Amino acid sequence: MLFNSLEFICLFLPITILGFFGLGRFGFRQAAIVWLVFTSFIFYGYWNANYVILIVCSMIFNYVIGNFIAKQYQFNHEQSKFNNNHFLFIGISVNVALLAYFKYANFFVKNLNLLAGTELTLGTIILPLGISFFTFQQIGYLVDSHKGKTIEYNFLDYCLFVIFFPQLIAGPIVHHEEVLPQFANKNITNFNFANIAIGLTIFSLGLFKKVILADGVSTYATPIFNASASGTLISSFEAWCGVLAYTFQLYFDFSGYSDMAIGIARIFGIILPENFDSPYKANSIIDFWRRWHITLSRFLKDYLYIPLGGNRKGEVRRYGNLMITMLLGGLWHGASWMFVIWGGLHGFYLIVNHLYAAIKKTLHLQSRDKSIWEIACYRIITFLSIMVAWIFFRAESLSAAVSILKSMLSFDLHNLTPNNLWGSPANINLIFCVLWLVLSSIIVWFAPNTQQILWRYKPTLSTKNNEIKNIFLWKPNLLWAISLGLIFFIAISKILEAKPSEFLYFQF
């Protein structure tokens, strides 16, 4: 069930809200939590009911192991430490094995066959939706239990921590201490008009981003990448248009999903962590990874980069740890060498970024006050680097990615004729494409983001006091209600015209 589908917006969400707050209104708090867990299972089972058993078994296993580890931590003797380490190893191994089988087994077998000349086969393995997200979330819970950071939560609240439908399929990846205390709050089932208004506002903005902006610009990205994959020769202008279109599509698609997830959770009185903070406004690759998929970056840093040694064992080891982290982060996105290349590129970018910062520090060239031209230069270089990496993220093969890069670098503008603009070899209208790209760039680089618009009302756990012009600040008044109602109406009208598309991050 998609957030941008009529069955979700008109049936599932209203019924879930009414049931949850209706039970809470009559004092049945526990029943309301059960209802939310039950409807979350319905939401997950809508895709493939068979995998409900998988996620239930995963939750039971991790809850039992996590509680055992947490109890062992209380005993300060060698045997308990021995048990703690071994059960943590077992817990992480089972989770990783589960993820490896469903997501990477055929990938490994395929590459083994290429190397060894064998013909092994595992058949078709259907990837359970959200397995990367709920697996990482529970691994984080086990590690925190090992560190003594958890308490013994009841199983119902733990189920909600894992299965809570707004962030189940594509994040944000939450820590237990961020949401479990909120689920345990006695007032969670009390109807709150402020939460409803804030949640619907964030949801509506996210829906518009997905249905109008992401899906709109995608009509110019997909044909160009498909044409390149099929061997069609595309011009330099087409290549730039296609890559820029995908760059903006992915931005609006993931930003839209993050807003919708945060908005839905807020309706139920749950505040999720920030996951998206205008990443294309980043002035460096380091800054980009502080803004893009923030909760995944945090997970990779806390549970992979730092355990590897982080920056504590010298610069060479630090750069090696960065590269390993980004390679595995790329592989996390999917069983493809293209994702590994994408991760490797970002690892290289980060190393160069850190080296540049170190050189500037050594030469005492650092300055707090940067000119607008210096900032613009950094931002353009960062954006172009990100855009090049997205080519490998999106392309179906290395040859298709290289073909697009060659077309971009050929600068063969002599083929740019009026006829080509209205009907290019990739069968897109390049004039309309340029208009979409101009509109997208204005929104991405100059418009305030959702967290900034609602910062006074703490839309996320990490929202900062981010002052913007008063005209852009959300207020619970008639003008904003009419504006958001119009945005919502436009998005629903678009959904009625065509079948809703999946979010890009659902495939990960």
pLDDT at residue number 430: 80
Residues 6+ apart with CB under 8 A from 65: 87, 90, 91, 142
Examine the pLDDT at 173 and tell me if it is beyond 70. yes
Q: Kindly give the interhelix angle for 50-73 and 155-163, rounded to the nearest 10 degrees.
A: 130
Which residues in 17-32 are b (16+ Cβ under 10 Å) and which e?
bebbbebbeeeebebb
Query: Tell me, what amino acid is at 146?
Result: H
Q: What would the DSSP string read from start to end of 180-211?
A: HHHHH-TTTTS--HHHHHHHHHHHHHHHHIII
Question: Which residues, in sequence order, are CB contacts of 392 under 8 Å at separation 6+?
Answer: 338, 341, 342, 345, 398, 401
pLDDT at 46 over 60: yes
Across the range 148-158, mean pLDDT stands at 82
Q: How far is CA 410 from the centre of its chain?
A: 33
Weakest mean pLDDT among 73-82, 115-124, 189-198, 218-227: 73-82
| Dihedral sign (CA 479, 483, 486, 492) | negative
Rounded distance, CA 288 to CA 281, Å? 8
153 vs 94 pLDDT, higher one: 94
107 pLDDT band (50/70/90 cuts)?
confident
Cα(369)–Cα(324) distance, rounded to whole angstroms? 34
Closest CA to 183 of 64, 69, 265: 265
pLDDT of 40 over the 90 cut: yes
Position 274 pLDDT exceeds 70: yes
Mean pLDDT of 190-200: 94
Q: Which residue has the higher pLDDT, 449 or 472?
A: 449
Separation of first and last alpha carbons in the chain:
16
Mean per-residue pLDDT, 115-132: 83
In three-state secondary structure terms, 53 is helix
Q: How high is the mean pLDDT of the chain?
A: 88
**Residue 129: pLDDT above 90?**
no
> How much is the pLDDT for 76?
60
Give yes or no for residue 77 having a pLDDT over 70.
no
Find the mean pLDDT for residues 369-379.
86
Nearest to 55 by CA among 147, 151, 214, 164: 164
Residue 338 has pLDDT above 90, yes or no: yes
User: Tens digit of pLDDT for each residue in 279-299?
Assistant: 999 999 999 999 999 999 999
327: enclosing H helix or E strand: helix 315-332
Place of tokens 């750069």: 319
**Cβ contact 177:299 at 8 Å:** no
Q: How confident is the model at residue 446 (pLDDT cuts 50, 70, 90)?
A: very high
| CA distance linking residue 123 with residue 150, whole number of Å | 40
Take residue 218 and report the two structure tokens written for it: 């995608």
In the beta sheet, which residues pair with residue 276?
292
Whether the predicted pLDDT of 416 surpasses 60: no
Residue 13 confidence (pLDDT): 96
Band the pLDDT of 73: cuts 50, 70, 90. low
How confident is the model at residue 314, as a pLDDT?
82
Looking at this protein, which amino acid is placed at residue 297? Answer: S
Residue 227 contacts residue 425 (beta carbons within 8 Å): yes
Which are the catalytic amino acids? Answer: 333
pLDDT of residue 415: 58
* Predicted model pTM: 0.90
Query: Phi and psi dihedrals of 276, rounded to 5?
Result: -155, 120
Report, as an integer, the average pLDDT of 106-129: 84
SS3 405: helix
Please give the C-alpha separations between residue 484 and each of 203, 234, 314, in angstroms, as whole numbers: 10, 40, 52
pLDDT recorded at residue 205: 96
- The region of weakest confidence among 80-84, 110-114, 324-328, 338-342 is 80-84
